[in-house]
A and B are shown apart, each in its own frame.
Chain A
Amino acid sequence: MTQITKIPVHEPHTVYIKPSKGLAALNLRDLWLYRELIYFMVWRDVKVKYKQTLLGMAWAVIQPVMTMLIFTFLFGKVAKLPTEGIPYPVFSFAALLPWGLFVTALNQGSRSLVAHNNMVTKIYFPRLILPMSSVFAGLVDFAIAFVILLGLMFYYQVTPAWSLLWTLPLFLLLAIVTALGVALWLSAINVQYRDVNQALPFLTQFWLFATPVAYSASVISEKWQVVYSLNPMAGVVNGFRWALLGAGGGPGLSLWVSVGISILIFVSGLFYFRSMEKTFADTI
């Protein structure tokens, strides 16, 4: 019995396999052919993340809220850091939002190749998909936390900066590009040197102190502002506060420094990743 099913016929295309020399081409065509895989990987990560947990999706709320409460107590009540007139909970939560996205993306992305080593050693697919989908999977938690922020703003009667809100997606993009750029570097290095696993918790912690999440960037003196913005996450966090709450001075030279650094990390990461890609299956 033969079943005749209409399936999308695809023309056999010819593939040439040869040793790649120098910086491999980005091969965006393959990435496009495998676009559905990105979707499925993200979907799987989201679906599996809170399986067999008691609190499930609530963790996406508990984590940033608890951090916010600790910050509020330590830096808001005890240390009484300046917040430009905004209630401290809202002030810190607006920064914890992109920071949480960044940390999740950085950690999951950097471990993605090693975590999926059975895929890497058994089948072909554009390896870029692994760090990419780990980074995108964090967006779901981000969306949930965003709703909490809206609730907080309503509770503290903080009016959003309506006229600036349209820039928010741009800062979100900057956060994603930064996280992906760092994840590309670290995931590729992690294939050969598992030191990355050891360094990640330390890196995350250090990076948090270097980013104005718990405090306002205005405590940094004027002449250090540009040096400070070499950390692209400073640009992201300041941008979020500005776009949401109208806090801070808005985009200036330091933002463009952050954007430049972020793009530099991303593009160099992309090429480093691609040039190491051919050895992944052998060294992982």
Chain B
Amino acid sequence: MTTAISVHNLGKRYKIGAAETKFRYNMLRDVIVDTVYAPIRLAKAIVGRSDRRMNQNYVWALKDVSFDLEEGKVLGIVGRNGAGKSTLLKILSRVTEPTTGTVTVRGRVGSLLEVGTGFHPELTGRENIYMNGAILGMRRAEIDAKFDEIVDFSEVSQFIDTPVKRYSSGMYLRLAFAVAAHLEPEILVVDEVLAVGDAEFQKKCLGKMGDVAQQGRTVLFVSHNMSAILRLTQEAIVLNKGQLIMRAPSQEAVDFYLSSGQSQAGERIWDADEIPSSSQPFTPLSLKVKDKNGKVADTVRSTEPVMVEFEYKLSSPVTGLRVGLYVSTMRGEYIFTSFDTDTPALYEKFDSREAGHYVSRAELPADFFNEGRYILGVNASSFGVRRYFMDENALAFNVDISGAPGTQWGEPRVGPVRPRLAWKIEKIG
């Protein structure tokens, strides 16, 4: 067997500048001081001795990662946000350079990271196919040969000579994906592409990925969607804080990831500078998603209830306060809204709240969410009086559907909810 990818001691370090907040332009004085120092900063920057360097922190997004992948294998990559998955893919597709280590890649790397890159709204579908193909590294002759296939796959043949700015977002995406899917690289890298598009289209994408794997090409598949990882890969690696902590058959790796608290990103903590001063007297502290064992989790099972906890402080008494929760899909469609004083009993008791430290807790029922990634938003307001605080995109979490109704058929289902309905079947004749 030939090795398609060989990664050796790979590391990537990023700078996180700390001194940039030194001048905040709050006062005219700051602006003047900053202007006076500008020529000195310029001189330092040119000779490469930026004064920021002294206060700079480094963070290793990827550290000492080594693995080999044989040609024709499909490898899943799992890990919480910030574990280094995307950094790894970016290095493999040569977008960014590693800080240490080496990678040997045999063949062209195509990634579905770049769907639609270089599309210009003023150009027609036809023109964009050529443009995008060239950006992805295809030769003109190659695009000519595959042009009809691309158009068929995208299902936009009627509008192929219309500028893409007139396309619906679905059409736009289908066309973009069609080009990327026909690049036919030796190594395909897929990152979260399943989060976009309608269900029908997602099915096509998965199909295309399956084809690619069947043709003996190598696939790297990054997803938060554990059932997709199980369905499509035989083997997976688990990344945590930039390090590779496990490589095992997919089922084993997914179980490890889901149970080990690896998935512990399901928490949002507000720093003082993220809270507008207008939110006073309300100060949000944290929002947590917890699984049935009370552990903070980034990925929860659809078959188990989920606890959502919102912690906040009131620096003075507030009348009519209600603290709300919005749940929406990654595409921004709301699934529901709920307030902590919706029920009359709680409304009586907490309509007026004293100053203090509070937590509002809600249990989201089991057998409710379909698979995918969902967004929690929070809101604190007094109805008809004033909104204190609002963050529509406070936290995202994943739902894993292993064991949910209908998973015996390995196909995605449309709709954000997946209830367990009390079906009855009778033979009536």
Interface residues, chain A, with chain B CB atoms under 8 Å away:
3, 5-8, 10, 12-20, 33-34, 36-37, 39-40, 44, 47-48, 51-52, 116, 118-125, 193, 195, 278-279, 281-282
A18 and B96 contact, Cβ closer than 8 Å, known pairs A7-B145, A37-B134: no
With A and B bound together, what is the CA distance between A144 and B200 in angstroms? 49
With A and B bound together, what is the CA distance between A116 and B99 in angstroms? 24
Closest to A278 in B: B97
Please count how many residues in chain B sit with their CB below 8 Å of the partner chain's CB atoms. Answer: 46
Is B98 within 8 A of A16, CB to CB?
Answer: no
Is B104 within 8 A of A123, CB to CB?
Answer: no
Flag B110-124 by CB within 8 Å of A: 1 or 0 each: 010110011010110
**Cross-chain contact of B117 among A14, A37, A123 (Cβ < 8 A):** A123
- Which residues of B have CB within 8 Å of A37? 134-135, 137
Is B122 within 8 A of A281, CB to CB?
Answer: no
Is A6 within 8 A of B145, CB to CB?
Answer: yes
Closest to B11 in A: A19
Q: Say whether B105 faces chain A, with CB atoms less than 8 Å apart.
A: yes
Is B130 within 8 A of A12, CB to CB?
Answer: no
Is B102 within 8 A of A16, CB to CB?
Answer: yes
Determine how close the nearest CB of chain B comes to the CB of A41; give it in whole angstroms.
8
Q: Say whether B91 faces chain A, with CB atoms less than 8 Å apart.
A: yes
Closest to A121 in B: B95
Is A19 within 8 A of B98, CB to CB?
Answer: yes
With A and B bound together, what is the CA distance between A125 and B93 in angstroms? 10
Please indicate which of the listed interface residues A6, A122, A193 has the most CB atoms of chain B within 10 Å of its own CB.
A122
**Cross-chain contact of B99 among A14, A19, A119, A195 (Cβ < 8 A):** A19
Q: Say whether B358 faces chain A, with CB atoms less than 8 Å apart.
A: no
Is B103 within 8 A of A17, CB to CB?
Answer: yes
Is A12 within 8 A of B136, CB to CB?
Answer: no
A44 and B131 contact, Cβ closer than 8 Å, known pairs A3-B149, A281-B90: yes
Given contacts A18-B101, A36-B139, A40-B134, 18 further A-B contacts (CB under 8 A): A7-B145, A12-B107, A14-B104, A16-B105, A17-B98, A18-B102, A19-B101, A36-B134, A40-B130, A47-B123, A47-B127, A48-B123, A118-B118, A119-B118, A123-B111, A123-B113, A123-B136, A125-B135
Determine how close the nearest CB of chain A comes to the CB of B33; give it in whole angstroms.
18
- Which residues of A have CB within 8 Å of B134? 36-37, 39-40
- Which residues of B have CB within 8 Å of A51? 122
With A and B bound together, what is the CA distance between A40 and B186 in angstroms? 24
**Cross-chain contact of B45 among A124, A193, A282 (Cβ < 8 A):** A193
With A and B bound together, what is the CA distance between A60 and B146 in angstroms? 36
With A and B bound together, what is the CA distance between A119 and B116 in angstroms? 10
A17 and B91 contact, Cβ closer than 8 Å, known pairs A12-B186, A282-B14: yes
Is A17 within 8 A of B94, CB to CB?
Answer: yes
**Cross-chain contact of B107 among A13, A33, A48, A124 (Cβ < 8 A):** A13
- Which residues of A have CB within 8 Å of B145? 5-8
Is B139 within 8 A of A8, CB to CB?
Answer: yes
With A and B bound together, what is the CA distance between A98 and B221 in angstroms? 51
- Which residues of A have CB within 8 Å of B127? 44, 47
What is the interface of chain B mostly: helix, strand, loop, or mixed?
mixed
Is B117 within 8 A of A5, CB to CB?
Answer: no
Is B104 within 8 A of A281, CB to CB?
Answer: no
- Which residues of A have CB within 8 Å of B118? 116, 118-119
With A and B bound together, what is the CA distance between A5 and B136 in angstroms? 20
Is A15 within 8 A of B104, CB to CB?
Answer: yes
Q: Say whether B198 faces chain A, with CB atoms less than 8 Å apart.
A: no
With A and B bound together, what is the CA distance between A122 and B101 in angstroms? 21
- Which residues of B have CB within 8 Å of A120? 95
With A and B bound together, what is the CA distance between A61 and B93 in angstroms? 43
Determine how close the nearest CB of chain A comes to the CB of B219; give it in whole angstroms.
15
Q: Say whether B106 faces chain A, with CB atoms less than 8 Å apart.
A: yes
Is B105 within 8 A of A19, CB to CB?
Answer: no
With A and B bound together, what is the CA distance between A135 and B188 in angstroms? 33
With A and B bound together, what is the CA distance between A17 and B10 in angstroms? 10
Determine how close the nearest CB of chain B comes to the CB of A9; give it in whole angstroms.
10
- Which residues of B have CB within 8 Å of A123? 93, 95, 111, 113-114, 117, 135-136
**23 A-B residue pairs with CB within 8 Å:** A8-B142, A14-B105, A15-B105, A16-B103, A17-B91, A17-B92, A17-B103, A18-B98, A19-B99, A19-B100, A33-B137, A37-B134, A39-B134, A44-B131, A48-B122, A119-B117, A121-B95, A123-B95, A123-B113, A123-B135, A123-B136, A278-B96, A278-B97
Is B106 within 8 A of A20, CB to CB?
Answer: no
Determine how close the nearest CB of chain B comes to the CB of A101; give it in whole angstroms.
23
**Cross-chain contact of B108 among A3, A12, A47 (Cβ < 8 A):** A12
Q: Say whether B141 faces chain A, with CB atoms less than 8 Å apart.
A: yes
- Which residues of A have CB within 8 Å of B91? 17
Q: Say whether B357 faces chain A, with CB atoms less than 8 Å apart.
A: no
**Lowest 4 A-B CB distances belong to which pairs?**
A12-B107, A124-B94, A17-B103, A40-B134
Q: Say whether B140 faces chain A, with CB atoms less than 8 Å apart.
A: yes
- Which residues of B have CB within 8 Å of A52? 122
Is A40 within 8 A of B131, CB to CB?
Answer: yes
Is A118 within 8 A of B146, CB to CB?
Answer: no
With A and B bound together, what is the CA distance between A52 and B121 in angstroms? 12
A122 and B113 contact, Cβ closer than 8 Å, known pairs A40-B134, A281-B96: yes
- Which residues of B have CB within 8 Å of A19? 97-101
- Which residues of A have CB within 8 Å of B102? 16-18
- Which residues of B have CB within 8 Å of A40? 130-131, 134-135
Closest to B102 in A: A18
A20 and B136 contact, Cβ closer than 8 Å, known pairs A44-B123, A193-B45: no
Is B131 within 8 A of A17, CB to CB?
Answer: no
With A and B bound together, what is the CA distance between A191 and B373 in angstroms? 33
Is A17 within 8 A of B135, CB to CB?
Answer: no
Determine how close the nearest CB of chain A comes to the CB of B182; give it in whole angstroms.
10
Determine how close the nearest CB of chain A comes to the CB of B104; give it in whole angstroms.
6
Please indicate which of the listed interface residues A16, A37, A116, A118 has the most CB atoms of chain B within 10 Å of its own CB.
A37
